[in-house]
Structure 1
Amino acid sequence: MKNATPFAELTGGRLLLAAFVIALSNFMVVLDTTIANVSVTHISGDLAISTSQGTWVITSYAVAEAICVPLTGWLAGRFGSVRIFVACLIGFTVFSLLCGLSNSLEMLVFCRIGQGLFGGPLMPISQALLMRIFPPEKHAQAMGLWAMTTVVGPILGPILGGWISDNLTWHWIFFINLPVGIICALAAIRVLTPAETPTTQLKIDGMGLGLLILWIAALQLMLDLGHDRDWFNNGMIVVLGLIAAIGFVVFLIWEYTDKHPVVDIRIFRHRGFSIATLTLAFGFAAFFGSIVIIPQWLQSNMGYNATWAGYLTAMMGFGSLTMSPIVAKLASKFDARLLASFGFVLMSGVTLLRAFWNNEADFMALALPQIIQGFAVPFFFIPLSNLALGSVLPQEIASAAGLMNFVRTMAGALGTSLAVTIWDDHSKIARSEMVSSLHPEGTVRALEASGMSHSTIVGTIANLVDKEALTISVNHVFLIFTLVFLVGAILIWFSPRAKGNVEGGHAH
């Protein structure tokens, strides 16, 4: 019947409440992908760890989330979408509490992994549940609601994380999830039960899952620990590298030959999907790496507190909100490769602007690239998603979407690890070069004559050198990212033109 919802119990106010609960749950999980970005400096200072170690709080969450995304379909089919949705909400809320109570880096990273494991399935399941409870003619509006929470979450994350870290303590960036998680879980049990999906005894590719966890964990540990342990001069890092490489190869062989793979890598036989996904990985690695190190540089060098670092980081969100619906319409009229290439070139130009930042830059000089980047992001994200999913068979779209999100999330985690490592390593090189060319004797004598003590003068000069070295190094990282975006702009043209359109729900 026209305008009838699929479930008689979910009509009127109950339907709106169900949609609100699903959207709010998705918003909470997406918010946590960026809320810690501006709080790394606070967390590092409080736990007496380096900034590079502080970023493990971000990468551990992303990696755990990436591992669980491919399992979402199996979990929903085996236990029911609503049950998994509620279980993930409860688990995410419990680990949010434990994150807030953490008093060591080890405990915090462990609890962030728990958050990621339970948060990973919530995004795709929330999308599927919205499509399930609304009638077909309302699917576009349902996906609009889901997309809005997905876009707004990362925008508000840095603002909220910065304000909480400055005015309360960093622990509260996790504690704020508690009331939301509890209310959403109770409401979901109350109103979503009629929309439960049928279950069946599905087989799980246990070997494939084990190999997936093994090589990803080894790779991320190698990237996170390598910097502190002198990379491949350390036996542990060599072992981790070998485990990651061998595990990855064995994983590919196993998944390709298994009848029920946890990750259906056969989808990579479609050239359009492979090229679009690889291009998206390049772009997202550089994009996410940038939005992680910018707040840290602002706080360590520019004197910004976490709140203002959050404001500046989030300024790209307004352009993304404005352009997303426009780019979605353009994607149905123009070649997706052209739109994506334009987006990458624009991102490359913006990143090149950042490569000339200095310690005297004012707010607008720092904000302008953020604003332009906001307009550029939808141009590479939406067309690439459409191109990738438009290149596979209709029955493969769900698996392809999960695989694409897995690759994108992993690329973000790897991009962050590499960006922080390059930044830290190059800053030491820059500092060494600056110190070797310094001849401060005349400056020291002049400052001593003005009444400053020798120790104060030495400390001031050392501080200035450190700040300049950090800025030179961050500019070096942005130059690398500029080249990465240019590679993406070229790489996408190796993909064949999209054959057809993809429904908006999958493209998001």
Structure 2
Amino acid sequence: MSDEDSIFSRLTPRQRTLAGLVLALSNFMVVLDLTIANVSVPHIAGNLGITPDQGTWIITSYAVAEAICVPLTGWLAQRFGVVKMFIWAMIGFGIFSVLCGLSMSLTMLVACRIGQGLCGGPIMPMSQTLLLRIFPPDQRARAMGLWAMTTLLGPAMGPIIGGYISDNWSWHWIFFINVPIAILCVVAAMALLRPVETDTARVPIDRMGLFLLVFWIGCLQIMLDIGRDHDWFGDPLIVILAILAAIGFAAFIIWELTEEHPIVDLRIFRHIGFTSGVFSLALGFGAYFAGIVVIPQWLQTSMGYTATDAGILTAMTAVAALMAAPIAARMTGRVDPRIMISGALFWLGLMTLWRAHWTSSIDFWSMAAPQFIQGFAMPFFMIPLTTLTLGSVRPDETASAAGLQNFLRTMALAIATSLVLTGWGNGQRVSRSEMAGTLQPADTQAQLSAMGMSFEQARQVISNLVDQEALAIAVDHVFFLSALVLFLATAIVWLAPKPTGPVDTSAAH
């Protein structure tokens, strides 16, 4: 009996099934937390006495912390064992979820979201690693299918669950609901997964590389998050942060290219197929996430929608993606992945252009149509990209390539959130100024005064209408720029050569 066969025999079929469900559930919980707070930002901002712009730090802090921790996953698993690290990561995630729910200030909430991200980052790849470890080769496709479904289902359910909880309970419960799931996963992992623990070894860690990674990403993200409140480069603090981020990034690249055991293996970028694939992924995913960020905020702050309705509208895309995923999975390997990816990105770009013509008088179903239709393209973008990127590197580089791909995707999410909200705010101010300069309000004021309004009331009504229209125009600008980014990503894919031979995607996460 081989070592691999002996691992499978340590668990009965029933234990294997239960363990697989628990691992899929843990992944679902972590992915859910990427989007569950999106529709709750206006509720949280109002409760904590902060602006909606500041409220988005709740999204970006989690994503950045998760991205930073992903490159550490391999070292942590080798050093302490994958089962032990999975259990401790789940415990940490549960504890920080409680602290997030108990937070009474933005500072505490952002700090606890960073803790959540640091603990949640390794859970995704480690849950996948454990699934591959407990299931024999003939059952792995089914197990990974279940895991992939939770990855798609999480973003779909996040806005709906977050919106319902915020409207009917309290925003604190979007974090508290993680606790029973975390407890269940910890208890089940301790009972079921200990027999499949991995061997440990004292492996070196690139401490300087880790420090530089945290330093430059931290400076960059803080600059992006606070820049819009500090007049950007008119503020010396923003200038200093930009310089530190640039110096840190340059030092990070030089160090990682010369380090024997780099925390991020940048040498993988020598493969043009991988480079073009991950840049298409980062641009495409960032442009797609722009809608997930801006739509709930616009609907709740300007259009009078509840968090629940905003969540349902936002989730339409992921619902359609779930329906199309099995078709995309069957086509992968039979059709050139570049055709599938570029076709999906082009489709997403067209749907984004459609949304660039929304107005303040648009109804729910007119917004739901492009949201739902664009979702059919998502699996044809995400699934073949793994084949393209991992098929472009050597087999011994697959794990590093998969980790770097996940890192860039998560960073794209965080950076896109900051840029989109900056662009939306700037667009709103410019549009309002232009409308105010050409507006002839005298007739309207006279009509409103004839209806019994005072001069000040009439002015306020007109001002509110201008604000509403300016916000709608700014949303359209965001979608137009997102569409251009998606079309650019469509072209970049074709820099990659066609993958040849079978591709091992087991290391992807």
Q: Which runs of 5+ in 1 are unaligned?
A: none
Q: What are the within-5 Å matches in structure 2 for residues 455-474 of structure 1?
A: 455-474=456-475
Conserved? CA contact 1:62–1:412, under 8 Å: yes
Distance between the aligned counterparts of 2:306 and 2:372, measured in 1?
20
Conserved? CA contact 1:143–1:504, under 8 Å: no
Distance between the aligned counterparts of 2:209 and 2:249, measured in 1?
10
Matched, 1:202 2:200: no
Query: Structure 1 467/501 Cα, relative in aligned 2: closer, same or farther at 3 Å?
Result: farther
Matched, 1:78 2:95: no
The AA in structure 1 aligned to 2:506 is G
Bigger mean CA deviation after superposition, 218-227 or 373-382: 373-382
Matched, 1:503 2:504: yes
Distance between the aligned counterparts of 1:138 and 1:4, measured in 2?
13
Conserved? CA contact 1:382–1:507, under 8 Å: no
Q: What are the within-5 Å matches in structure 2 for residues 263-412 of structure 1?
A: 263-412=264-413
- The alpha carbon displacement at 1:327 in A equals 1.4
- The alpha carbon displacement at 1:264 in A equals 0.5
Distance between the aligned counterparts of 2:348 and 2:434, measured in 1?
31
Conserved? CA contact 1:255–1:262, under 8 Å: yes
Conserved? CA contact 1:386–1:507, under 8 Å: no
- The alpha carbon displacement at 1:219 in A equals 0.3
The AA in structure 2 aligned to 1:250 is A
Distance between the aligned counterparts of 1:204 and 1:22, measured in 2?
27
- The alpha carbon displacement at 1:507 in A equals 5.1
Conserved? CA contact 1:5–1:11, under 8 Å: no
Bigger mean CA deviation after superposition, 445-454 or 210-219: 445-454
Matched, 1:232 2:233: yes
Q: Which runs of 5+ in 2 are unaligned?
A: none
Q: What are the within-5 Å matches in structure 2 for residues 46-125 of structure 1?
A: 46-125=47-126
Distance between the aligned counterparts of 1:482 and 1:166, measured in 2?
32
Bigger mean CA deviation after superposition, 323-332 or 128-137: 323-332
Distance between the aligned counterparts of 1:32 and 1:426, measured in 2?
29
> Identity, % of aligned pairs?
56
The AA in structure 1 aligned to 2:227 is G
Distance between the aligned counterparts of 1:359 and 1:307, measured in 2?
19
- The alpha carbon displacement at 1:134 in A equals 1.0
- The alpha carbon displacement at 1:210 in A equals 0.2
Distance between the aligned counterparts of 1:208 and 1:428, measured in 2?
41
- The alpha carbon displacement at 1:458 in A equals 1.7
SS in 2 for 1:20: helix
Conserved? CA contact 1:6–1:132, under 8 Å: yes
Question: Paired residue for 1:138?
Answer: 139
Conserved? CA contact 1:37–1:292, under 8 Å: yes
Question: Paired residue for 1:213?
Answer: 214
* Structure 1 runs (4+) greater than 3 angstroms displaced: 1-5, 503-508
Query: Structure 1 252/464 Cα, relative in aligned 2: closer, same or farther at 3 Å?
Result: same
Distance between the aligned counterparts of 2:270 and 2:33, measured in 1?
34
Deviations 1:383-437 (A, max 9, x none): 2221000000111111100000001110111111100000011101111111111
Conserved? CA contact 2:390–2:402, under 8 Å: yes
Distance between the aligned counterparts of 1:279 and 1:197, measured in 2?
35
The AA in structure 2 aligned to 1:403 is L
- The alpha carbon displacement at 1:14 in A equals 2.0
Distance between the aligned counterparts of 1:64 and 1:507, measured in 2?
19
Question: Paired residue for 2:419?
Answer: 418
Query: Structure 1 52/500 Cα, relative in aligned 2: closer, same or farther at 3 Å?
Result: farther
Question: Paired residue for 1:18?
Answer: 19
Distance between the aligned counterparts of 1:386 and 1:304, measured in 2?
40
Conserved? CA contact 2:403–2:508, under 8 Å: no
Give the TM-score normalised by the residue count of structure 2. Answer: 0.98
Deviations 1:171-203 (A, max 9, x none): 100000011111211221121111110000010
Conserved? CA contact 2:399–2:508, under 8 Å: no
Conserved? CA contact 1:431–1:469, under 8 Å: yes
SS in 2 for 1:32: helix
Deviations 1:411-466 (A, max 9, x none): 11111110000001110111111111122112112211221222222221111111
Distance between the aligned counterparts of 2:303 and 2:219, measured in 1?
35
Distance between the aligned counterparts of 1:398 and 1:188, measured in 2?
24
The AA in structure 2 aligned to 1:120 is G
- The alpha carbon displacement at 1:13 in A equals 2.5
- Matched length: 508
Question: Paired residue for 1:178?
Answer: 179
SS in 2 for 1:315: helix
The AA in structure 1 aligned to 2:57 is W
- The alpha carbon displacement at 1:12 in A equals 3.0
Query: Structure 1 105/327 Cα, relative in aligned 2: closer, same or farther at 3 Å?
Result: same
CA-based RMSD of the aligned residues comes to 1.4
The AA in structure 1 aligned to 2:193 is L
SS in 1 for 2:39: helix
Distance between the aligned counterparts of 1:232 and 1:45, measured in 2?
29
Matched, 1:487 2:503: no
Deviations 1:363-386 (A, max 9, x none): 111001111111011122122221
Distance between the aligned counterparts of 2:406 and 2:508, measured in 1?
11
SS in 2 for 1:237: helix
Distance between the aligned counterparts of 2:180 and 2:454, measured in 1?
53
Matched, 1:160 2:161: yes
Distance between the aligned counterparts of 1:507 and 1:253, measured in 2?
26
- The alpha carbon displacement at 1:64 in A equals 0.3
Distance between the aligned counterparts of 1:388 and 1:15, measured in 2?
30
Bigger mean CA deviation after superposition, 377-386 or 62-71: 377-386
Distance between the aligned counterparts of 1:60 and 1:287, measured in 2?
19
Distance between the aligned counterparts of 1:242 and 1:507, measured in 2?
34
The AA in structure 1 aligned to 2:250 is V
Conserved? CA contact 1:343–1:376, under 8 Å: yes
Conserved? CA contact 2:390–2:505, under 8 Å: no
Conserved? CA contact 2:28–2:154, under 8 Å: yes
Deviations 1:153-175 (A, max 9, x none): 11111100000000001110000
- The alpha carbon displacement at 1:7 in A equals 4.1
Deviations 1:208-254 (A, max 9, x none): 00000000000000000111001111111111101111101110110
- The alpha carbon displacement at 1:285 in A equals 1.0
- The alpha carbon displacement at 1:503 in A equals 3.4
Distance between the aligned counterparts of 1:390 and 1:399, measured in 2?
13
Conserved? CA contact 1:5–1:134, under 8 Å: no
Conserved? CA contact 2:390–2:504, under 8 Å: no
The AA in structure 2 aligned to 1:245 is A
Bigger mean CA deviation after superposition, 455-464 or 105-114: 455-464
Matched, 1:450 2:457: no
